[in-house]
Structure 1
Amino acid sequence: MTALERETITARLAAGAVEYRLEGDGPQTVVIFHGGHMRAGLALGEEVFTTSGHQVLAPSRPGYGRTPLSTATTPAAFADVTAQLCRDLGIGRVAAVVGISAGGRTALTMAARHPHLVGRVILQSAVGFAPWPGDRRTRLGGRLMFNARVEAATWAAVRLVTRTAPRAGLRLLLRDLSTRPVSRVMAGLSEHDQAELLALFTLMRSGGGFVNDMLPVPDCARQVTQPALVIATRTDRSVPFTHAESLAATIPRAELVESRADGHMIWFAPDYPAITGKIKDFLATV
């Protein structure tokens, strides 16, 4: 098990199995909905919450890890499942739901459906309610490469390339995450960051979750009444900045924070410490 991997638990709820991780001993809980190709056992950018005294609850979204797609096929259904998981764990109030990338829609849907449970919303490089991916060719490619029948082979190929030619493999993977030249993106990453990204990419799997993430979802942004922090960068090729702009314009109490990251992975940008300060201030605001 690597430093990125964490132990998880599988709960058996009425709707089905839910894999989750519960870490930290703070008095308040933050629920994190991971992005595509991720799962509860992979931690990314969580230090801002644990170091500010929050407990982290990270469930694997349906189709990822050990949460089968049959547990909940829509963000609305999984929002209800997560609310039930909170009740079973004795969590009566969530300080914030965090939606990362493709997990953004689930975070927003949970906030809209369970306003008594959710205090705030934090979105990081999050997919909104516009069609995603935005062009038909990318959607078709995603369904071809990451459907449940072939995704294991796709990720096996990724691991082979990153093991035999790490820098070339990382350049290939980063190309789809940034609108900037990949040479500039690589130059902005330290050796440590490059190694961490390579380790993360080699641990990713899509299961049945990623193709499900690309399906249309009812737009509930106007029903999100909680304060929301929308964090995104204009150089994100994976989730265009227009998603963040639309969410910030539609959610009644939203603030848009523009990252200076060179692409989708905002946690590896030089300005991320400043953004963590924004997040901590946001969580501390009464």
Structure 2
Amino acid sequence: MATEGNVVLADGRHVSYAEYGLPDGHPVLYFHGAPSSRLEPLLIGEDAFIRHGLRIIAPDRPGMGRSSFQTHRGFSAWPVDVAAMADALGLEKFSVLGNSGGGVYAAACAARIPQRLHSAVMVSSIWRMDQPQNLAGLHVMTRLAWRLAKWAPPLLGLLLKNVATTAGRDLARMKSVLPQPDYDTLESAGRFEILGYVLREAMRQGAKGPAWDVSLYVHPFDIRVQDIPIPLHVFHGMKDAHVPLRLVRAALADIPTARLTAYPHEAHLSTLCNRFDDIARALLDGCPPAQPAQVAIS
């Protein structure tokens, strides 16, 4: 079971977090998806963290779970919170792992506080989603969500609240929507029910925080990811229906330190759950090994 904690920042805001794995393991700040919560690492499982000797610390981002909302924030505000949180926990250096909507937050830390990082890893990361070419081929509901994020954030909040309310109830209804690897992943180890729990916790304070978080991906980023001075390890499934691999390749073209590992038979969630051994090695060693089933681009 996760243990939970809370850090009070200099401006009075609270950042809540959950810890998993070994208390004395290699520290990893885990940045959840959008929307999601500090409970997201439950989808991977405690055994994986213990096996790799990891101490996973997963904070709720502002306005989600139990963390205070932060007005007018962009991606650049997150490294400030992360550094303060690390100081409070006595961490001089640590790794960062951003999954899905948490990916650019890991990149922001790599750009702004590289001296504090042992390694930086992104998994199934979302990038800029306000370009028509980036939405081409996506499911109609996914396209709708991104358009609402751009033009009608309050309506996006209603959509996200509805998704969270119904999550974890009927996986069979999603079979025609999800790529097979994601469906299989959710069908095993009770992950579908866990996902519902994770998303409902994201909406604990309402939809304002989650909607703000999602909306950051449809506006210009307030960080220069091309200036990242340390290796940035990116893992992505080639069957990802939420973020096509072509979008990831285009985004990484401007980041000289990025290394992409793509899995032909994985999708959005399955990459995180099925390939965590590779992800853990990148977190610990800073260099994921190339496997025959991967397409590695450096």
Q: TM-score, normalised by structure 1?
A: 0.78
Q: Deviations over 1:112-170 (max 9, x none)?
A: 110110121111001124538944643234646641x66444422345xx1xxx34334
State the distance in 1 between where 2:8 and 2:123 align: 29
**Structure 2 length as normaliser, TM-score?**
0.75
Runs of at least 4 residues off by over 6 Å: none
SS at match of 1:8: strand
Which of 23, 26, 30 matches 2:24? 26
Comparing 53-62 with 256-265, which one deviates more in the overlay?
256-265
Shift of 1:250: 2.5
Aligned equivalent of 2:107: 108
Equivalent of residue 233 in structure 2, options 229, 233, 256? 229
Question: Deviation string for 1:227-286 (max 9, x for gaps)?
Answer: 1211112221212213421343232222111123452112477xx35x623641562258
Q: CA RMSD in A?
A: 3.1
Distance in structure 2 (CA, Å) of the matches to 1:221 and 1:137: 27
- Alignment partner of 2:36 out of 29, 35, 38: 38
Flag structure 2 segments of 5+ consecutive residues without an equivalent. 136-142, 288-298
Q: Tell me, yes or no, if the aligned pair for 1:31 and 1:57 is still in contact at 8 Å.
A: yes
- SS of alignment partner, residue 121 of structure 1: strand
**RCO greater where, 1 or 2, for CA within 8 Å and sep 6 or more?**
2
**Corresponding residue number in structure 2 for 1:60:** 60
Tell me which amino acid in the other structure corresponds to 1:277. D
Partner of 1:14: 10
Worse-superposed segment, 14-23 or 150-159: 150-159
Q: Identity across aligned pairs (percent)?
A: 21
Matches within 5 A, 1:1-286: 6-15=2-11, 16-23=13-20, 24-43=22-41, 44-45=43-44, 48-70=48-70, 73-94=73-94, 96-129=95-128, 131=130, 134-135=134-135, 137-141=144-148, 143=153, 146-147=156-157, 151-158=160-167, 162=169, 166-171=170-175, 175=177, 178=179, 184-185=180-181, 188-189=184-185, 191-193=187-189, 195-205=190-200, 206=203, 207-212=207-212, 213-215=214-216, 216=219, 217-267=221-271, 272-273=274-275, 276-277=277-278, 279-280=280-281, 283-285=284-286
Change over 3 Å in CA distance of 1:77–1:145 after alignment to 2: same
